[in-house]
Every structure is written in C-alpha cells, then in structure tokens.
Amino acid sequence: MAKIRRLVLDTLKPHEPNIIDLANVLSEIEGVAAVNISIYELDRMVENAKITIEGEDIPFSGVSDMIEEMGGTIHSIDEVVAGKKIIDDADTLQD
C-alpha cells in the first residue's frame, strides 16, 4: 500500500484543547513530520479547523483516533497525497 504523505482534514473541535495542544499531540504520532491547524470559523461551543498533516507515512487511523480522543470529529478528508513524494496541485483550465 502507498504511504500517505499529506492529509488535509476539515474538522470540528471543542475550544479545549486549544490548537497548540492538538497540534503538539498530533505531531507526536509516528510517521507525522509536521502539523498545521487553522481555525476558519468559531461558534460559542466549537471551532471549525483545517488540519494539514505531512510526513513520511501518516497513519490515518492513528490521526483520526487522536482527533476523536481530543473531542473532535472529522467532517471530511479534503486532500490526500500518497506515494513516494509530495506533489502539489497543478493549475488547470478549470481553475
């Protein structure tokens, strides 16, 4: 099976833990090299967050389990890069 190199997740999380703590916990997962979390919407009780994770062999089940353990849920998987290297989207006529 190909190795997952990048995941972009749309998530819903409570205000606590904050994104610093969540990023630190996710970055400790074996196979994860970097975590970026951006909040794009706030509510009284929850935050919508875009989580970008890069690494050599990201274990999706480990990531999803940790997000759930920290009180969050994954709404959608918005991007996946798998294989021997990371490639970025190329501009197309649809863009």
The domain that holds 76 is classified in CATH as 3.30.70.1340
Asked, for residue 95, whether it belongs to a domain, the answer is: no
DSSP H or E run through 10 = strand 4-14
Angle of helix 19-27 versus helix 60-69 axis, rounded to 10: 150
Q: Are 41 and 48 in contact (CB under 8 A)?
A: yes
pLDDT tens digits for range 25-82: 999 999 999 999 999 999 999 999 999 999 999 999 999 999 999 999 999 999 999 9
Residue 8 domain boundaries: 4-82
Beta-strand (E) ranges in 15-84? 32-42, 46-55, 73-82
Asked, for residue 61, whether it belongs to a domain, the answer is: yes
| Phi, psi at 85, each rounded to 5° | -150, 170
Exposed, middle or buried by CB within 10 Å (0-12, 13-18, 19+), for 15?
A: middle
**Mean pLDDT to the nearest integer, 11-31:** 97
